[in-house]
Structure 1
Amino acid sequence: MTSSGPPGTRDSGPAAGTTRSWPAGWWYLPLTILTAGLAAWVPFLHAGVVLGSARLRWAAAAYGAVLAGLFVCASTAPVDAQGTAVGTAGTVLPTIAGTGWLVLIPVACAHQWAVRRRVARGRGGAPEPGLSRALAARSRRTTARRLAESDPLLARDLRIGRPDLARDYDDGGLVDLNNAPAATIARLCEIPLPAAEDIVGARRDSGFSSVDELLVTVALPVSAWDRIRDRGLTLSA
């Protein structure tokens, strides 16, 4: 039996022989805790460089400035020859420094935890499949809506907003509120079928010029408005 690990270790399971790597940014919190907050700014600088984020680099500068201010408070507090605090400043400044340090460490760690996840995704960490699909569909809806606004005839040829018809173009889940049947509107906008039938009834004369006009014309639950705006478009009949 062979082993690819160091002496005294064994391979086990299907992952034997593979190299395990530490997750990106794993050292952020340990560095901050082990240095008692003195290096709290370093993870933000690293994340800012990795992600190309000016905001995170500014966060690093802000944490550094706070640390410098706390150090000044602690080191400039007046004391006498025996090291006893002198006057109000001698009492208040060390209190500010101590309290600030106690607050800084958990705040920085919580912030770093969120940043570490961003770094992991930015360095190849796989996002949640469901999130990826939802974001991809949103992007397709945005593209399809822009196409429909700039070229309505092409949009009709591509059957944008008409999942009830045979088509090849993926519009990300849009629904044409001026032409789609009530069942399709109800399904994509996640509204009751009677509400979708009200939309169909109200559009019979000339249709809607915009989704906002529909929302003013038809009595629909306010809770459904955002979903209708996200999924709906109004092509001419």
Structure 2
Amino acid sequence: MTSRYVGWWYLPVTILSAGLLAWVPVLHAAGVLSRRRLYWWTLAYAAAAVASVAAGSAGAAIALVTIIAGSVHQLRLRRERIAAASAPPPAEDPAVARALAARARRQQARELAARDPLLAKELHIGRPDLPGDYDDGGLVELNTAPAETLARRLGLDPAQAQSIVDARASFGGAFSAVDDVFAATELPLDTWDLIRDRAIILG
């Protein structure tokens, strides 16, 4: 739906219901615009609808006032909704864009490694300490990367990184899965998510 059709039904609902349903468009706008004070207006229009039914002969006057006031109010709300729908989306934060791009590259590198482990090793995926120009998005290979690389890419201190190097020796020199590192070391729990996101095992 184009922006010019946004809220097109507001006035017809109010006018055709003789003001009894004037509260419906306002309630809808309150949810769409996330504006709390519009919920109070919704209650006011609903109260006016009840009053117009209960007031007998004076009900017609109340209904007329409700239709006029509601129509003016809803025209303004509709203009606000059209303006919001027509506004360009906010520019993405460059830092967020870079982080998402790196995440996508890590996923692509993992998929490549799963298809062709030998090629992954030739490209030095997870080994930024070795020469190469393949961008793996920041992966680190747990079985072969030196402690300094583990510390830098996994956000660990030198002692924690060294504990990974020491632990992989107890696994015959190689972990078989990323989660093996958690069983073999005493790394803090708050490091686990980042390690799972950045670590890779190439065999």
Normalization by structure 2: what TM-score?
0.61
The answer to whether 1:184 aligns with 2:149 is yes
Q: Indicate the structure whose relative CO is greater, using CA pairs within 8 Å and at least 6 residues apart.
A: 2
- The answer for the alignment partner of 1:141 in structure 2 is 106
In the alignment of these two chains, the number of paired residues is 152
1:75 maps to amino acid: A
CA distance in 2 between partners of 1:173 and 1:40 (Å): 48
- The answer for the alignment partner of 1:32 in structure 2 is none
1:151 maps to amino acid: D
Distance 1:139 1:221, change over 3 A: same
Greater than 3 Å deviation, 4+ residue runs: 36-44, 69-74, 80-84
The answer to whether 1:165 aligns with 2:133 is no
Query: Following TM superposition, by how much is the alpha carbon of 1:195 offset from its aligned partner in structure 2, in angstroms?
Result: 0.7
Compute the RMSD of aligned alpha carbons: 3.8
CA distance in 2 between partners of 1:142 and 1:200 (Å): 25
1:120 maps to amino acid: P
Bigger share in helix:
2
Query: Following TM superposition, by how much is the alpha carbon of 1:224 offset from its aligned partner in structure 2, in angstroms?
Result: 0.6
Give the match's secondary structure for 2:176.
coil
Match of 1:208 among 161, 175, 181: 175
Distance 1:219 1:72, change over 3 A: same
- The answer for the alignment partner of 2:91 in structure 1 is 126
1:142-193, CA deviations, whole angstroms, 9 ceiling, x for partnerless residues? 1101111222111101110000000010000000011100000000000111
Greater Rg over alpha carbons, structure: 2
Runs of 5+ in structure 2 lacking a partner? 7-22, 34-38, 60-76
- The answer for the alignment partner of 1:150 in structure 2 is 115
Query: Following TM superposition, by how much is the alpha carbon of 1:206 offset from its aligned partner in structure 2, in angstroms?
Result: 3.7
Distance 1:201 1:42, change over 3 A: same
Runs of 5+ in structure 1 lacking a partner? 1-24, 29-35, 45-58, 61-65, 85-104
- The answer for the alignment partner of 1:10 in structure 2 is none
The answer to whether 1:218 aligns with 2:185 is yes
Normalization by structure 1: what TM-score?
0.53
Query: Following TM superposition, by how much is the alpha carbon of 1:80 offset from its aligned partner in structure 2, in angstroms?
Result: 3.9
